[in-house]
Amino acid sequence: MTINGWLQILFFLVLVFLVTKPMGVFMTRVFNREKTFMDPVLRPIERLLYRVTGVDEDHEMRWTEYAIAMLLFSLVSMIVLYLMQRLQAYLPFNPQKFGAVNPAHVAFNTAASFTTNTNWQAYSGENTMSYFTQMAGLAYHNFVSAAVGIALAIAFIRGIARRQMQTIGNFWVDLVRGSLWVLLPFCIVGALVLVSQGVVQNLRPYDTAKLVEPMQVPKVADGKPVVDAQGKPVMDTVTDQTIAQGPAASQEIIKEFGTNGGGFFNANSAHPFENPTPLSNLIEIVAIFAIGAGLTYTLGRMTGSQAHGWAVWSAMAILFLVGVTAAYWAEARGNPLLAGTNQHATALQAGGNMEGKEVRFGIANSALFATVTTDASCGAINGWHDSYTPLGGMIPLVNIMLSEVIFGGVGAGMYGMLIYIVLAVFIAGLMVGRTPEYLGKKIEAYDVKMAMLVVLVFPLVILAFTAVSSVHGFGTAGILNPGPHGLSEMLYAFTSGAGNNGSAFGGLTVNTPWYDTTLGITMLAGRFLMIIPMLAIAGNLAGKKYVPPSLGTFPVTTPLFTLLLIGVILIVGALTFFPALSLGPILEHLLMVAGKTF
Amino acid sequence: MKKNLITAILMTVATTILLGIIYPLVVTGLAQLIFPRQANGQLIQKDGKVIGSSIIAQGFSKPGYFHPRPSFGGNGYDPTNTNGSQLGPTNQKLIDRVKGDVANAQAENPSSPVPIDLVTGSGSGLDPHITPASAEFQLPRVAKERGTTVEQLRALVQKHTEGRQLGFLGEARVNVLELNLDLDQQFPGNKQAEIH
């Protein structure tokens, strides 16, 4: 670890702190339908959208209607994305003449993945998707799945803030205002800033470059290396390099800002065309946290308890710092099994475990990116988590297992955190023997039952599918790295799916019927089976009377509350997943230190 | 329910046109106008032909060139198959691969340990950079092949070394393709016939 590395990490956290209030205030105004400086441009577009789609913007929805509208929109847009992939050969903007996305289970998996804000990728963008599918299918879902997430968080916050009301807002209005006001303007500016750093943005066919030095590569026929009579591989001479192009920047910025994470190219933000410089890297990670951080301020503002918003922010910041410290430490130490290499940090190199990482980011920015992308449900990567050291790779995994509430996915992080808050005040209430209250609302049996449903669905799908995969050939066949690391690969896949993260231990071969289908189901369950109980709590809270705080009320604005919240998050996460972690990354770490390989 | 279904269908169509088509086309137009070189991949041309991108690695294996990091996407340095090795830290294949690469690298510089980035695959398989340490490691070999001195060559490496952005962001790095192209210009040496 270096001083410069820490300087960058702390600088990043300061930037997140600085964007929290402006983002939070702005989102409050947008969703309270107050005036903003963008209204002259956006309000006409908004009105036009309502007219075309038949939305009555003054209609208020109960939680059930809100949920149904959200589900219908997700279903319709998911079907459209599936069809778009299958029919892309007949659609425009396809200079590479890519055929349909095949087989069907890959297209299903991708449709589920992008609709649920997961952006798990069973395909490689640069050799599968047309520019049209990338723009109108994948980047489009980056926008709306993020807007849906924000809408849900706002609906939950309204549930807390409203008193004796049956409604929590209008889904369509929240969707449109989130897309137009919160996401779109920032993305236009942000995309252009990324282009200035070198992120590509064009519609041209792939370029062919004449290599400066032709390369010798093993000749392959029918997927097998060709060998001569002596059994030596036959070599081919490669003289050209095909440089994949495309409208990457417009997708790149919403990929981060909407915590989606699906790369335009397979290598995601490790690709020089997606993340060319340390500055583009910084913009991308700040964009990942911006909305999640802002929503803590919105929570405080809408519920009239700004100190509570900051108490939640602090819990998130502390958990972030713990994670990034552990990941940075583990990666900077390097891999003791690689003899004859220099892994020390010096003035001339960052050192550490550089397998799967880029030189321009080194160790500090790679560990930081891996922590941020999994604290939030983003899933973009700037280096492959599969090649991280066992403990360095465990941090992203644990972050997702904690339900990605550390600033969190846009909206999803906030409503995930609110579930933990409900549990925290419930536990605090039990300890003093009073009915728990949260910001003037009594937390009763119904709310706690729904919160527990959310907390239980998540590990259930992860552990059940991982267990089945680990004892059947169709599961273990996909493993690239044997030993405990193989279990980590499967565990990471289902955790990432259920958490709607989308990052992977990429060695696992997942474009098989088993993984595509089960991960598709996992992603849908991880999104919608959590949203529905969450909305039920919101609807129930909205209907309750306001109870003024009394001496016996557990205050949710103090450092004690922050600590209790962190405690609940860690205990729920650790108790559930510790056995699986000890058989995967923890065991691998101990064996690595002992010099064992697989 | 029925009204919301119709709205869902219409909303999908309307927002797809706005966010999925108009938005990326507007950004493309602006990007092509303001940053045409960056938006098109910073292509390098020679005699009217594209010979690479400034920020995409190419493979170099001749001793007279600086070598990039190993690549594990497709056949190597393949922008249509970007990937890393995905090998885990305790995988014997990783240990063996690095051992082989270390032995090869140390054949030219036996006493010193190899900078880690030179024997580990990058995330993209297209990492255009090596660390200054890796450039320094290769200096004696390239200088000898090019018939020049280590000092003269070091100055050229420094010319292609980028420091931390804004003084503190990221890591210092050497652009291998640009360095090698400049190398052909500045120190064609006795290798010119073979190279071209």
Contact A198 B19 (CB under 8 A): no
Q: How far from each other are the two terminal CA atoms of chain A, in whole angstroms?
A: 28
**Per-residue model confidence (pLDDT) at position A433:** 85
**Confidence at residue A228, expressed as pLDDT on a 0 to 100 scale:** 84
Contact yes or no for A212 and B28 at CB 8 A: no
B133 to chain A, closest Cα gap in Å: 5
Output the six-digit token pair for B126.
């297209």
Q: Would you call B56 and A272 a contact, using CB atoms and an 8 Å cutoff? A: yes
Q: If you measure CA to CA, which chain B residue comes closest to A64?
A: B1
Say yes or no for a CB contact (<8 Å) between B171 and A359.
Answer: yes
Across A252-352, the runs of DSSP E, i.e. the strands, are 341-342
Say what the alpha-carbon torsion angle B164, B168, B170, B173 is, to the nearest 10 degrees. Answer: 20
DSSP conformational letter for A201: B
| Residue B19 DSSP code | I
Return the domain boundaries, chain A: 410-593
Chain B CB contacts of A195 under 8 Å are 27, 31, 34-35, 38-39
Smallest CA–CA separation between A419 and chain B, in Å?
Answer: 28
**pLDDT at residue A133, as a whole number:** 96
Residue type, B164: R
Does residue A383 belong to the interface with chain B, where contact is any CB pair within 8 Å?
yes
Measuring CA to CA, which residue among B83, B117, B78 is closest to residue B98?
Answer: B117
Burial of A364 (0-12, 13-18, 19+ CB in 10 A): buried
Q: How far apart are CA B172 and CA A12, in angstroms?
A: 19
Residues from chain A that touch B132, judged by Cβ atoms under 8 A, are: 348-349
Q: How close A565 comes to chain B (CA, Å)?
A: 33
- Percent over 90 (pLDDT), chain B: 90
Give the closest-approach CA distance of B63 to chain A in angstroms: 12
- The pLDDT assigned to B193 comes to 44
With beta carbons under 8 A apart, name residues in chain A contacting B4: 65, 68-69, 72
Predicted-complex ipTM score: 0.95
Alpha-carbon distance of A293 to A297, in angstroms, equals: 7
What was the pLDDT predicted at B120? 97
pLDDT at residue A541 in the model: 95
- Enumerate the residues of chain B whose CB falls inside 8 A of the CB of residue A52: 10, 14
Q: How far is CA A330 from CA A13, A75, A302, A312, A391, in A?
A: 20, 42, 40, 28, 6
Say whether B7 and A45 touch across the interface (CB within 8 A): no
For B15-37, the pLDDT digits (tens) are 999 999 999 999 999 999 999 99
Q: How far is A558 from chain B, CA to nearest CA, in Å?
A: 35
Asked whether the beta carbons of residue B170 and residue A265 sit closer than 8 angstroms, the reply is no
Taking the CA of residue B184 and the nearest CA in chain A, the distance in Å comes to 10
- The tokens describing A527, both together, are 């999104």
Query: Which residue out of B22, B169, B185, B191 would a mutagenesis test of the A interface target, given it has the greatest number of A Cβ atoms within 10 Å?
Result: B169
Measure the CA–CA gap between A81 and A404, rounded to whole angstroms.
Answer: 26
Mean of the per-residue pLDDT values of chain B: 93
**Distance set, CA B32 to CA A192, A280, B26, B41 (Å):** 10, 19, 10, 11
CA pair distance A581, A393, nearest whole angstrom: 11
pLDDT for B190? 57
**Residue B87: pLDDT above 90?**
yes
Interacting residues of A297 by C-beta distance below 8 A, sequence separation 6+ = A20, A21, A23, A24, A25, A28, A306, A309, A313
Q: Which residues of A touch B43 (CB under 8 A)?
A: 207, 209, 243
Query: In A, which residues are within 8 Å of B112 by CB distance?
Result: 342
pTM as predicted: 0.96
Asked whether the bond before B24 is cis by omega within 30 degrees of 0, the reply is no
Question: Letter for the amino acid at A450?
Answer: M
**What residues of chain B lie within 8 A of the CB of A278, using their CB?**
164-165, 169-171
pLDDT in tens, B110-165: 778 999 999 999 999 999 999 999 999 999 999 999 999 999 999 999 999 999 99
| Nearest chain A residue (CA) to B64 | A213
Give the residue from B4, B97, B142 with the most A CB atoms within 10 Å of its CB, the best one to mutate. Answer: B4
pLDDT of residue A574: 78
Contact assessment for residue A9 and residue A329, using Cβ atoms and an 8 Å cutoff: no
Which chain B residues have a beta carbon less than 8 Å from that of A271?
82, 124, 126
Whether residues A199 and B133 touch (CB distance < 8 A) is answered with no
Best residue in B6, B10, B12 for a mutation probing chain A (most A CBs within 10 Å): B12
Top residue of A202, A275, A359, A491 to mutate, by most chain B CBs within 10 Å, is A359
pLDDT digits (tens, 9 = 90+) for A520-572: 999 999 999 999 999 999 999 999 999 998 888 889 999 999 999 999 999 99
Q: A residues 3-62 near B, CB within 8 Å?
A: 4, 7-8, 11, 45, 49, 52-55
pLDDT of residue B195: 45
Q: Which residues of chain A have pLDDT under 50?
A: none
Site from A115, A269, A348 to mutate, B interface, most B CB atoms within 10 angstroms: A348
* DSSP state letter for A553: S
Q: Which residues of B touch A98 (CB under 8 A)?
A: none
- pLDDT band at residue B196 under the 50/70/90 scheme: very low
Facing residue for B120 by CB, picked from A243, A354, A506: A354
Dist. CA A214–CA B58, nearest whole Å: 9
Q: What is d(CA B133, CA B172) in angstroms, rounded to the nearest whole number?
A: 10
How far is residue A35's CA from residue A30's CA, in Å, rounded to a whole number? 8
B3 alpha-carbon distance from chain centroid: 53
Shortest CA gap B33–chain A (Å): 11
Nearest CA in chain B to A77: B12
DSSP structure class, residue A204: P
Please report the residues numbered 392 through 431 in chain A whose beta carbons come closer than 8 angstroms to any beta carbon of chain B: none
Residue of B nearest to A595 (CA): B90
> Residue A212: in which H helix or E strand, if any?
strand A207-218
